[in-house]
Amino acid sequence: MCGIIGYTGRQDAASIILEGLKRLEYRGYDSAGIALSGKGCAPKVVKKAARVEILSRLVREAKLAGSCGIGHTRWATHGKVSDENAHPHVSSDGVIVLAHNGVIENYVQLRKSLTALGYTFHSETDTEALANLVALHFSRLESLGVSENRLEEAVRLALAEVEGTYGIAVMCVGNPDEIVGARKGSPLVLGVGRGENMLASDVTAFGGRMQNVVYLDDGQIVRMNRDDFVISTLKNESVAPVLNEIDWRMEDAELGSFPHFMLKEIFEQPVSLENAMRGRFSQDASTAQFGGLNMSARELRQVDRILFLGCGTAWHACLLAKHMIERYARIPVDVEYSSEFRYRNSPLEKNTLVFTISQSGETLDTLEAQREAQRKGYRVLGISNVVGATIPRENDGGIYQHSGPEIGVASTKAFTAQVLVASMLSLYFGRMRDLSFADGREMVKAFQSLPGLVSCVLDQAENVERIAKRYAGCNDFLFLGRLEMFPIALEGALKLKEISYIHAEGYPAAEMKHGPIALICPECPTVAIAMAGEMFKKCVSSIQEVKARKGDVIVVTDCPDDLPDGLADEVIFVPRAHDCILPILATIPLQLLSYYIAVARDCDVDKPRNLAKSVTVE
C-alpha cells in the first residue's frame, strides 16, 4: 500500500527519489516524505500530509542535496493523517531514519519499554517504535565496539523483536551512502545499476533507471551502497541474489495522450486481452494450453473440486471463474474471500485444487490464504499480473496475465484479463473431460474475436459519457444481473463506489423483490445487464418492477430491439457473442460509465480517497 523508494549513487538523490514517489502515487497515499543523508550529520527530512507535488516544492525550498536518500508515500493505518505521522521517521536520538510499509502489531509494548529507556515519541505511528528500537540496538552495538555493518546488525536485532509485517528502508548517521532494507509480508525490490543501486516497493518506482532487479523474499535483509549490495537472512545467513530483467517498457506506465490512467487502461483492453491469449491455444484450435501449471493431464483429471481465493475485484473474477468452469468443465467450484479463508477452519475435499487471483501478486490476505492452503497440503495455482511478485513466486504453478503495468487504482484491464484466463481455464478443464472438439473450436474462435469486439464497445464511449453526465448527480445506484452477469453487476457497483464515492450495490436481478426494491425511487437509477438467452425475459420482468416504481433504468444489452418500448431510459449496446466472452464485453460499458461519472463529479479518478492499489496490510 505505502510506497518506499531508496537511492544511493553519484547523482542528485532528491530528484530521483521524488520522481520515484510520483510513480508510486498510484498505490494510494495521504502523505509523503523524503530524507537525504549528509556526511557526519543527521539525515535531513522533509515530510508533509500532502501530495508529492507539494513535497517537491518543499524540498526545493529547503535546498536538500545529497546522493543517498529514502522516500515514502504513506497510507494511514496507525494514527491520523498529519505531518507528524508522515514517513520517514527519525529516532529520538537523531541517529536512525526509517521508512516503513506494513503493521508492527506489538508496537504498544515496544513503545512502553523504549519510553522507559529514555526514548521519546512525536507521532502516533507504529513505525516510530521500530525506528527507536533500531536506534537502541545501534547504540548498544556501538558501546560494544562493533563498527563493521553496525546498521545492518542493528536492524537484524530489532526485527527479531518485532511482530507483524514490514518492508523497510533505513539510514543512519555516519554511513552517508548506505541503506539497509528488509521485508516480511510487504514487497521490496532491489534495483541493481552501475555506480548506483535502488530499493523500492515495486519496479514502477525505478522509472526505467534499473533494468536488473532482485525480488527480496520474506525474512531477507539487503545492505547496499552505490557500488555494491549484500543480501542475507534474519539469521545472518548469506543469500545468493537472483537477478531478473524487467520485462515491460517504461512507456507502458506513462499517460501518453490520455487524461487519466484509468481511461488509458480501459482503452488498452483489446491489446491486454490479446496478450493474455498469445500462444495459449492448441495447434488444432480446440483447447487452451498453459505452460506454467506444473501439473500433468493425469493429475488435473483427478481434481474433484476447485477453490478460488481473491479480494475485491479479484474476488469478482473468482465468481466468474466459478460460473465458467462449472458450466463448461462440470467441476464444482467454491469461492471464498482470502481474508475469511485464512481464519476459517474450512473442510476441503481431498482432491481439491486451489487457485488464487491477485493482480499485484502481493495482496497480503491472498498471500496468507495461499500459504494456509499449502500448509494443509493442497496444491495452489495462481493467476497474477506482476512477474516476480511474492504470490507467483511462492505458489505451485500458475498463469501470468501479461496485462502490463496497471497504474489506476480501480482495476480495469487486469480484471478483464483475469476473467479471460478463468474462461480459458474452463475450456482447458472442459476439453480434458467431456467438452467436445467442436465446442472447443467454437470457444477458441470466440476468444480470438474478443479484442475486436471490445474495440466495438469502446467505440460507444461518447454515448456512455453522455449517459454518465445525465446521472452524475445521483448518490445511489443499483446494478442487476443474472447468473454470470451477477458478478459483473457487483464489479460495476464496486467501480462506481471506488472512484466516484457513490453508494452502489450489485444484486442478482431476481433478488430485487426480496428487499432492495425498497430503495427504488427517481433519485436511484438502476443499471441492468440483460443479454439474449433464457434469462432475458426474467431480466425484463425485473426491469419492469423498477419502472413501475418510477426508477430510471440504464440497460446494457446485446438485443436492444427485443426490449419493450419505453422500458429503458438509456441503452448501451454490446455485440452479440459467445457466452464464454460475453461477461467481458458487458464489463467495458460499466467501466466507462464509472469513469465518466467520476470525471463529471470532479473526483481524483486515478487516486481515489482512502484506497490503495496493492493492499499489503491486513
Residues designated catalytic: 2, 613
Partners of 7 in the beta sheet? 69, 198
Max Cα–Cα distance, the chain, nearest Å: 87
Q: How far apart are CA 232 and CA 241, in angstroms?
A: 9
What values do phi and psi take at 306, rounded to 5? Answer: -125, 140
DSSP code of 216? P
The CA R_g of the chain, rounded to the nearest whole Å, is 26
Residues in the chain, total: 618
Q: How far apart are CA 35 and CA 13, in angstroms?
A: 10
48 within 8 A of 54, measured Cβ to Cβ: yes
Partners of 355 in the beta sheet? 308, 381
Residue 312 zone, left/alpha/beta (φ > 0; ψ -120 to 50; rest): left
Q: Kindly give, in sequence order, each residue whose CB lies less than 8 Å from that of residue 543, ignoring residues fewer than 6 positions away.
A: 480, 526, 528, 530, 553, 555, 567, 568
Q: Kindly give, in sequence order, each residue whose CB lies less than 8 Å from that of residue 145, ignoring residues fewer than 6 positions away.
A: none
Q: Which three cell numbers stand for residue 221?
A: 535483509
330 within 8 A of 434, measured Cβ to Cβ: yes
77 within 8 A of 103, measured Cβ to Cβ: yes
Q: Kindly give, in sequence order, each residue whose CB lies less than 8 Å from that of residue 342, ignoring residues fewer than 6 positions away.
A: 365, 368, 369, 372
Q: How far apart are CA 224 and CA 338, in angstroms?
A: 35
380 within 8 A of 396, measured Cβ to Cβ: yes
Inter-CA distances, 341 with 275, 337, 345, 365, 366, Å: 31, 6, 8, 9, 9
Bridging pattern class, strands 96-104 and 398-400? unpaired
Partners of 407 in the beta sheet? none
Q: How far apart are CA 405 and CA 208, in angstroms?
A: 13
Residue 22 zone, left/alpha/beta (φ > 0; ψ -120 to 50; rest): alpha
Q: Which three cell numbers stand for residue 206?
A: 525505478
Q: Kindly give, in sequence order, each residue whose CB lies less than 8 Å from that of residue 109, ignoring residues fewer than 6 positions away.
A: none
Closest by Cα among 610, 606, 591 to 26: 606
Alpha helix (H) ranges present in 283-405? Answer: 297-301, 313-328, 338-341, 364-375, 390-394
Q: How far apart are CA 501 and CA 504, in angstroms?
A: 9
Q: What is the dihedral of CA 148, 149, 154, 155, to 10 degrees?
A: 180
Other CB atoms closer than 10 Å to residue 296's CB: what's the count?
9
Q: How many CA atoms lie within 13 A of 514 on its CB side?
A: 5
Residue with cell 501470468: 400
**Residue 195: what residue type?**
G
